[in-house]
A and B are shown apart, each in its own frame.
Chain A
């Protein structure tokens, strides 16, 4: 595939790895957080950790929308399908996330609820047109990439007068999550999580641009390098971060110039601002309540807001006791630190959300990295 294969070339990856090893200073440690699950997945899938010198530690961030969605929100979606008998349209990613009482959207569907997986919110609109006698709810999740399509769908529904269509909005915001991490006690007071820089979002940045990260570089003195999701993009971003750290710079640099500008997609941003407004607070799994970190549907489009239409009440639910997703999402723990990782919790039978999405830190490590730990342990014993 053009613009994909060239960015996965193994020989070039080794060239970049050699440059990183050359430029990383002896004895210095570089703690770099990749915010996005897409980067976490690329790092695990292509074994980038094995290419990096020992001084570079990649810290997984909370940028996996499925992982940060708290149980109470999945419960809300199940309630719409099961108790309100709506057709609930959802991206496939949420289907297996464990909800309250050992259930999930998948299990609710098996028990008779009308839950339908869709590729796009445009498919949810089509289902609403085809079923005028039924309520059709789109379970909208995701960061700034999925938000503009949801905004378009809501506007389209209004234009068509599609009265049986509504959206259960759970869209969240990347900059709010980054700010929350930088302000967290683990980073600021306790020093448990050291962060020397960020690999910044790829596709989120195509929409919001590189400008929103300038605040983190200026106020928190943290370098940010926006990077594409291909392995060479990640390696190049790490090299650029190492250079910034070495030179004491804290700037926003853009490795993903083929798709990201400083301003982002103005048309998409205007559309989002027209349909959505900031939610005063939103609970994230792992981060807790984060002020102004999510979106809700504006009053002008209230008729399409499933929360208002069905009076959805949010009830917080604690995670499974043994699950370390919360600490993993904050960068405090690694997947292998969790007692149930790979034993009671596997991608086939996940206890926590980080094991569900392929971009979740646990699923990525389980699929591509768990034997590396086993070999390392054996080597240590020998």
Chain B
């Protein structure tokens, strides 16, 4: 029910609407809940509404965090 997916904004279609691309699937959604959405942004889409913008730098930091779990001193278990 609370599932949502990150999707790339490909076009702003109105003051509060945008077209998104999700692996080739394009759909018009509402961006009324998020200010300042621009083409190229990734937004988290839920029931046809962007809930928030995805922060690419934070996503990279989290992926680096996963990788560092294997680099602990006792690694090699």
A residues touching B (Cβ–Cβ < 8 Å)?
Answer: 1-4, 6-7, 12, 15-16, 18-19, 21-22, 36-38, 63-66, 91, 93, 119-123, 141-143, 145-146, 148-149, 152, 201-204, 206-207, 229, 232-233, 235-236, 239, 255-260, 265, 267-268, 271, 357, 359
Against A, the Cβ 8 Å flags (1 = close, 0 = not) of B43-71 are 01011110110111011011101110110
In the complex, which of the residues B1, B56, B61, B77 contacts A22, with contact meaning CB atoms closer than 8 Å? B77
A206 pairs with B51, CB closer than 8 A: yes
A152 pairs with B52, CB closer than 8 A: no
| Central interface residue in A1, A64, A236, by most chain B CB within 10 Å | A1
Closest chain B residue to A359 by CB distance?
A: B1
Closest chain A residue to B55 by CB distance?
A: A258
With the chains together, A35 CA to B46 CA distance in Å? 19
| Central interface residue in B34, B49, B75, B77, by most chain A CB within 10 Å | B49
- Shortest A230–chain B CB gap in Å is 10
B47 pairs with A15, CB closer than 8 A: no
A259 pairs with B72, CB closer than 8 A: no
Interface of A is mostly: helix
Contacts of A16 in B (CB 8 A): 66, 69-70
With the chains together, A229 CA to B5 CA distance in Å? 10
18 A-B pairs with C-beta separation under 8 A: A4-B5, A6-B63, A18-B75, A19-B72, A21-B77, A64-B1, A119-B48, A122-B30, A123-B48, A142-B1, A143-B1, A146-B47, A206-B44, A206-B52, A207-B52, A256-B62, A260-B52, A267-B34
Closest chain B residue to A120 by CB distance?
A: B48
Number of A-B contacts (CB under 8 A): 146
- Shortest B9–chain A CB gap in Å is 13
Interface of B is mostly: mixed
| Central interface residue in B1, B5, B52, B66, by most chain A CB within 10 Å | B1
With the chains together, A308 CA to B17 CA distance in Å? 32
B62 pairs with A255, CB closer than 8 A: yes
B residues touching A (Cβ–Cβ < 8 Å)?
Answer: 1-6, 8, 22-23, 30, 32-35, 42, 44, 46-49, 51-52, 54-56, 58-59, 61-63, 65-67, 69-70, 72, 74-75, 77
- Shortest A124–chain B CB gap in Å is 11
With the chains together, A91 CA to B48 CA distance in Å? 12
A149 pairs with B72, CB closer than 8 A: no
With the chains together, A37 CA to B2 CA distance in Å? 8
Given contacts A3-B59, A122-B48, contact A93 B1 (CB under 8 A): yes
Contacts of A19 in B (CB 8 A): 69-70, 72
- 7 extra interface residue pairs, beta carbon distance < 8 Å, beyond A6-B63, A64-B1: A2-B42, A3-B6, A120-B47, A121-B47, A203-B51, A259-B44, A359-B2
- Shortest A184–chain B CB gap in Å is 22
- Shortest B64–chain A CB gap in Å is 11
With the chains together, A15 CA to B22 CA distance in Å? 29
Given contacts A1-B23, A22-B72, contact A120 B66 (CB under 8 A): no
Contacts of B8 in A (CB 8 A): 2
A203 pairs with B48, CB closer than 8 A: no
A265 pairs with B30, CB closer than 8 A: no
With the chains together, A16 CA to B70 CA distance in Å? 7
- Shortest B17–chain A CB gap in Å is 10
With the chains together, A146 CA to B3 CA distance in Å? 10
Contacts of B52 in A (CB 8 A): 206-207, 259-260, 265
Closest chain A residue to B47 by CB distance?
A: A120
B30 pairs with A149, CB closer than 8 A: yes
B22 pairs with A1, CB closer than 8 A: yes
Given contacts A148-B51, A267-B33, contact A258 B66 (CB under 8 A): no
